[in-house]
Amino acid sequence: MAISENLPKKSIRIASLRELPVAAAEIVSLLETYSVVAFHGPMGAGKTTLISEVCRRMGVEDAVASPTFALVNHYAAADGRHIYHFDFYRLDRPEEAFDFGCEEYFDSGAICLIEWPEKIGPLLPDDALLIAIEPGMDEVRTIHIKTTA
């Protein structure tokens, strides 16, 4: 799914990783409305780092790491909600995500945080929250948050 320019958008510019909690707090505030969150950005943009901060703010006590080889990691939030962290970078075809049951995760109501959502194309729910991370110099990042509701 490409990020559409006509969706409502909020942009947060952070000058360093110390400011990452500001962006994470904004995303967490939207998790009452959205359960599937698609993180777009080039390699090294900070998708995993931002997801780690979102999980930390939700009270996840486990170490959060990219599930590059496992495809999905499971975490428990402090309020008991399930969080699934997906990394679809290594997929060759969207059908590979379908084969392991990604749609069941997306339809479960659990929080689904997805890296490389473009790899699954039409399997990404239309009502997903879209996050685009635009890297700048050094640790500068602009985080675009687009809602579909």
Q: Does 1 or 51 have the greater pLDDT score? A: 51
Q: 20: how many CB neighbours lie within 10 A of its CB?
A: 22
Read off the pLDDT of each residue in 16-43 and give the average, rounded to a whole number.
94
Sequence-separated contacts (24+) of 76-85 with Cβ below 8 Å: 77/111, 81/110, 81/111, 82/108, 82/110, 82/111, 83/55, 83/58, 83/110, 83/111, 83/112, 83/113, 84/110, 84/111, 84/112, 84/113, 85/51, 85/55, 85/113, 85/115
Write out the two tokens for 88. Answer: 């679809």
Query: How much is the pLDDT for 148?
Result: 73
Q: Which residue segments constitute the domains of the chain, with CATH numbers given?
A: 9-146 (3.40.50.300)
Write out the two tokens for 100. Answer: 């392991």
Residue 135 scores a pLDDT above 70 = yes
Residue 120 scores a pLDDT above 50 = yes
Percent of the chain exceeding pLDDT 90 equals 79
Residue 90 scores a pLDDT above 60 = yes
Phi then psi dihedrals of residue 53, to 5 deg? -70, -40
Confidence of residue 130 (pLDDT cuts 50, 70, 90): very high
Mark out the alpha helices in the chain (DSSP H runs). Answer: 20-29, 47-57, 94-99, 102-107
Q: Does 8 or 77 have the greater pLDDT score? A: 77
